[in-house]
A and B are shown apart, each in its own frame.
Chain A
Amino acid sequence: MTVKVLRPGLLTTLQDYGRHGFQRVGLCPGGAMDKVSLTLANALVGNALDEAALEMTVIGPEILFEEDTLVAVCGAEFQSSFPHNRPVLARKGTRFNVGRAARGARAYLAVAGGFAVEPVLGSRSTYLPGHFGGLEGRALKHGDVLPLREPQAVERFTSLKKTKDATVKWSARPLTVPDREPILVHVIEGQHFPSFDSNSQRAFFDTVWSVAPDSNRMGFRLSGPPLGRPEADEILSGPTCLGSVQVPPSGVPIALMADHQTTGGYPRIAEIASADVARLAQLAPGGKVHFAKCSLEMATELRRDARERLNAALRGIAWEYQRK
């Protein structure tokens, strides 16, 4: 059971929920940039929710299914006729050209049973800077052959209700792909917010920021007015986390994403509400975002709401898998 890579796309990597417990030796958890869409893709093919899937970025790959495979693509909308957000039985010999993202930046392709790569430090996620995890620690390239674990494609597909041809008559609603830009992202004040000058404090919330072209899985650089601190003293290096917004001396803020550094010496102006990180991950370079200040209580509330929306979507999918 294999899937063959005919064209790799811009950046296609295997990602799951990431590896935890190693931040104290400088290894970030990593994993999918948009874990909500990954979770939905896995649920749609009947997988464990944290199974590894292909994270496809802006320009998707072209792949060949060498056996019957149950597949789901979830997240950004790509220009292909392949149905999104639902389980699809890809028959042996099906070529799937994912194309370019039309809305959002990242989609996840999950296969029933998962990809057969060895976990490294408890995860199948590709960690590009360290060259490990996923497929040989790198992005997919032309000619790669991805082995699959337990196919069960046809069995799982026939256990679904309401099927029509090779797919189903329903779809899951994407939860993180923006309808319009700029997207609104909630942040709580970072540890060093008070040390920025008042113009910078205001500009941070007034500006429509643009995701710079040199953004990647480690961080999104945000183009806009430079932010400054009246006393440009060096701060003592401290911990960072997913969604920390750092401001280096250049004044260009950087939002830390999945493969971020675990400690840093730049002042942190803000911390993005964890509920909004997956939505930010759906911005491609040039994408627009503005920030709204919220309290820790509100960020917690947003996280619970997002979790509840995801749980509701998962219950809906699980219902479709119940025995007819």
Chain B
Amino acid sequence: MPLGDSAAYIEFSTTLDLEVNSVVQRLALLILKQKVPWIRDVVPALGGVALHFDPDHEGFPAEPLEAALEIVNGSLKESLEMKDDAGREVELPVCYEPEFALDLKEVAKKAQLEPEEVCQLHEAGEYRVLMMGFAPGHAYMGGLHAKLAVPRRASPRAVVPAGSVAIANEQTVVYPYAISGGWNVIGRTPRVLFDAKRSRPSLLWPGDRVRFRAIGREEFLELEKQK
């Protein structure tokens, strides 16, 4: 379907399906590899992939939607057959200490667990970056334990500190900057999620497999010094 007159969104599912998303991730990478000169951005989303066009490019086709669909169809079979996913493995150190875990008590209460159990379940999870957005470097990660699936906060915080690790519904996120947000904060990472000065500005990329590693306050402060 068209996304305005300069982009297209090819949707495979209107609900969150991790299998579909993993195909979407592989598909997006295959399309990127083709380096189509009139496609400026390939954005994997939860249930489909968006292609953003450069309508002023000399190679821009007269029927861009048809051409986009052809590109997607051309790579779809291969993305379905690919066994390994191209996502890298990333480990994020997280400090779950109370001074960083602003909503841990409330999450524990809602989930009917002890705060320590919440942290253990979160740390034990294996996550996938399903989609990025909201802010640069902000990854929506799937794979949260069903017991931790609590709704968002009733009222969003005006400022969530940078590096805050948060959960809501069946996903976890890390806030790259100090911005407003409504997810339940259960820890903080000392890592810089997005730095425009790096050649790969984002720490996380779509499709990445992410694990969290619990660290104490000392290590957090030590790692933060190295920023």
A residues near B, CB below 8 A? 20-27, 29, 120-121, 127, 129-130, 132-133, 188, 191, 235-244, 261-264, 271-274, 296, 299-300, 303, 307
Q: CA separation between A26 and B7, bound complex, in Å?
A: 16
Closest to A130 in B: B136
Q: What does the 1/0 interface line of B37-55 toward A look like (CB < 8 Å)?
A: 0001111111110101011
Q: Which of A23, A27, A271, A296 contacts B52 (CB 8 A)?
A: A23
B interface residues, tally (CB under 8 Å) = 49
Residues of B within 8 A of A235 (CB): 14
Closest to B130 in A: A237
Residues of B within 8 A of A300 (CB): 5
Q: Which of A24, A127, A133, A236 contacts B132 (CB 8 A)?
A: A24
Question: Known interface pairs A22-B201, A26-B138. Does A120 touch B196 (Cβ–Cβ under 8 Å)?
Answer: yes
Q: CA separation between A264 and B28, bound complex, in Å?
A: 18
Q: Which of A129, A130, A238, A299 contacts B46 (CB 8 A)?
A: A238
Task: Count how many pairs of residues, one from A and one from B, have CB atoms less than 8 Å apart in the complex.
Answer: 143
Q: How far is the CB of B23 from chain A (nearest CB, A)?
A: 15
Closest to A238 in B: B45
A sample of 21 cross-chain residue pairs with beta-carbon separation below 8 angstroms, ordered by A number, consists of A24-B205, A25-B202, A26-B135, A26-B139, A27-B136, A129-B177, A130-B136, A130-B194, A132-B196, A188-B5, A191-B1, A235-B14, A236-B15, A236-B16, A236-B47, A239-B133, A241-B3, A261-B135, A263-B133, A263-B134, A307-B56
Q: CA separation between A127 and B137, bound complex, in Å?
A: 14
Closest to B202 in A: A25
A21 adjacent to B14 (CB under 8 Å): no
Q: Which of A20, A238, A261 contacts B9 (CB 8 A)?
A: A238
Residues of A within 8 A of B109 (CB): none
Q: Does chain A have a CB within 8 A of B140?
A: yes
Closest to B42 in A: A24
A237 adjacent to B201 (CB under 8 Å): no
Q: Which of A23, A238, A296 contacts B2 (CB 8 A)?
A: A296
Q: Does chain A have a CB within 8 A of B33?
A: no
Q: Which of B2, B13, B179 contacts A188 (CB 8 A)?
A: B2
Q: Does chain A have a CB within 8 A of B6?
A: yes
Q: How far is the CB of A263 from chain B (nearest CB, A)?
A: 3
